[in-house]
Amino acid sequence: MKEIHVSQITETVARLCQDATRNLPEDVVAALRRAESTEESPLARQVLLEILDNAELARQEMLPLCQDTGTAVVFAEVGQDVHIVGGDFVNAVNAGVAKGYTEGYLRKSMVDKPFSTRTNTQDNTPAVVHTEIVPGDRLKLAVMPKGGGCENMSRFVMLLPGAGKEVITSFVLRAVDESGGNPCPPIIVGVGIGGTAEYSMTLAKKALTRRVGDPNPDPETAQFEAELLEKVNALGLGPQAVGGRNTALAVHIETYPTHITALPVAVNLQCHSARFKSAEL
Amino acid sequence: MAESIKIQLPLKDADLEKLRAGDHVLLSGVIYTARDAAHRRMVAALQKGEPMPFDVRGQVIYYVGPTPARPGCVIGSAGPTTSMRLDPYTPALLEAGLKGIIGKGSRSPAVRDALKKHKAVYFLAVGGTGALLSQRIKKVDIVAYEDLGTEAVRRMEVEDFPAVVVNDIHGNDLLEAGRARYRQPDRLGSYATGRA
């Protein structure tokens, strides 16, 4: 049994919050460069160049890529042979978020009492924590600071079980088309298909943790991803919806078996500032 | 790369007349920040005939809630937020004389009508470029609603602040026109025909 002290968890989460909000992952930068090199619209290219300049400047000056430093969505894979000592796991994660956002001069956007006073919690806690128990003695932590602009464009539907690809395609296209420039295209489109209502949305979020453009390991799903990406880009929205060929950098689909009566489909969009960093303890 | 038009604020009638949807501009001069909570208060003040935090006539409002400034810096990251959320408050401010807005994403039909009617322009700044945009902000003072924190009303002096005209005073809309131009309906299957 491997022991991990909560202080290590707090320190790691704090570091990941700051790293993620300032340093765009290299796979995202590469995807943006590809988009810029293929874009036909001069105005859309100008937008992509400003996005790439911003990433470079944020890295050099240690500035947040975006003023919306998001909800801290934390993914934890806890090895079943790990023993967490010295305190409570979720408290340790939240202490890391508070430290990272306060010491890193990041924006605190979380409000309590969401339907009434909407009082700012002052340190961007609590995080939204997804925990999975996995084999082994490692603890993997990943932080996705998720902006409000793209999260607000999320969609979910329970389709008829036989609806199939055509209806799913239209649902995804409508979600992207109607969201326009709000989620800050070029976006990554996360799609969760199957499971139950809440699980399909988790799948859609998890789909956004994949390296940009890596296909789903299942060939049929990967094929569907490629078809959807082509169609999303045929919508013509382009970067920031000014019109162009690059509306999305990728479509990622995650699936799970579902009930005989059901076909849950969830869409979670990620902005071009697709911030995500992970570490293993 | 698109050609940029340099504009000295405040916007003059000649600027407003000349700007067209799709123009890339570099704005220099004074702008004011306000977002959700500040808009609620400003529009309530207008309705009650109470004083506004600044005279909106002829001014530009930027929808931004920056990150905290590091010691020695003017401001933190400072890119635009989604304009749609401010749609319900915007016609009243345009009627009061506001001449320019900077945000991201599209506006409601009511806002587009009000922009045309009151001869005002809606710009987008590129969402998610808050680090880059912060470098074009040279001076910042909080002028009202300090209790709102990141949402307080700030007076900013900007230099060559990059933006794109979305809605001009002639009724053109860049986002509508751009989508129409680059749309490939033949590749959209049944979505294009509305059958599925």
Chain-chain contact of B128 with A238 (C-beta, under 8 angstroms): no
Is position A32 within any domain? no
Contact A181 B179 (CB under 8 A): no
Q: Nearest residue on chain A to B191, judged by CA atoms?
A: A170
Establish if B103 touches chain A: CB-CB under 8 angstroms: no
Chain A within 8 Å of B172 (Cβ-Cβ)?
Answer: no
Instruction: Domain of residue A153: give its range.
Output: 149-273
Please indicate, yes or no, whether residues A141 and A230 belong to a single structural domain of this protein: no
For the record, the structure tokens of B79 come out as: 């890119």
Do A247 and A134 lie in one domain? The reply is no
Minimal-distance CA residue of chain B relative to A244: B182
Quick one: A15 and A142 in the same domain?
yes
Q: How confident is the model at residue B193, as a pLDDT?
A: 74
Instruction: Give the per-residue pLDDT at B2.
Output: 58
Angle, to 10 degrees, between the axis of helix A6-22 and the axis of helix A89-103? 40
What is the model's pTM? 0.96
Q: Rounded to 10 degrees, what is the CA torsion of A86, A88, A92, A93?
A: 150
List, for residues B39-61, the tens digit of each pLDDT value.
999 999 999 999 999 999 999 99
Q: Is residue A31 part of a domain?
A: no
* Per-residue pLDDT at B194: 67
- The per-residue pLDDT for range A154-188, each reduced to its tens digit, is 999 999 999 999 999 999 999 999 999 999 999 99
What CATH number should be reported for the domain holding residue A215? Answer: 3.30.1330
Same domain? For A90 and A205 the reply is no
Q: Is position A47 within any domain?
A: no
Q: Number of H helices and number of E strands within chain A?
A: 8, 12
pLDDT tens digits for range B65-88: 999 999 999 999 999 999 999 999
When CB atoms are compared, the residue of B130, B178, B184 closest to A67 is B130
Q: Does residue B70 belong to the interface with chain A, where contact is any CB pair within 8 Å?
A: yes
Same domain as A6, residue A138? yes
pLDDT by residue (tens digit) across A30-89? 999 999 999 999 999 999 999 999 999 999 999 999 999 999 999 999 999 999 999 999
pLDDT for B150: 83
- pLDDT tens-digit map of A91-145: 999 999 999 999 999 999 999 999 999 999 999 999 999 999 999 999 999 999 9
Instruction: Please indicate, yes or no, whether residues A87 and A179 belong to a single structural domain of this protein.
Output: no
Short-list A25, A16, A11, CA closest to A188:
A25
Distance CA A175, CA A171 (A): 6
C-alpha–C-alpha distance, residues B60 and B44, integer Å: 19
**ipTM for this model:** 0.94
Q: Which fold has domain B4-181?
A: fumarase (3.20.130)
pLDDT beneath 70, residues of chain B: 1-2, 194-196
Same domain flag for A119 and A171: no
pLDDT value of position B148: 86
Q: Could you tell me the residue ranges of all domains in chain B? A: 4-181
Q: Using a CB-CB distance cutoff of 8 angstroms, which residues of chain B are in contact with residue A162?
A: none
Question: Is A39 part of a structural domain of the chain?
Answer: no
In a domain, A243, yes or no: yes
Residue B3 is predicted with a pLDDT of 83
| Out of A65, A170, A273, closest to residue B190 by CB | A170
A242–B78: do the CB atoms touch at under 8 Å? Answer: no
Do A142 and A211 share a structural domain?
no
Interface test with A, best of B132, B151, B161 (most A CBs within 10 A): B132
B14 and A CB contact within 8 Å: no
Contacts with B164 from chain A: Cβ below 8 Å: 43, 47, 240, 242
Residues A14 and A131 grouped into a single domain:
yes
Number of domains observed in the structure of chain A: 2
Nearest-angstrom CA–CA distance, B110 and B185 = 28
Contact A105, B169 (CB under 8 A): no
Cβ–Cβ contact B149 with A under 8 A: yes
Nearest-angstrom CA–CA distance, B157 and B171 = 29
Asked if pLDDT for residue A214 goes beyond 90, the answer is: yes
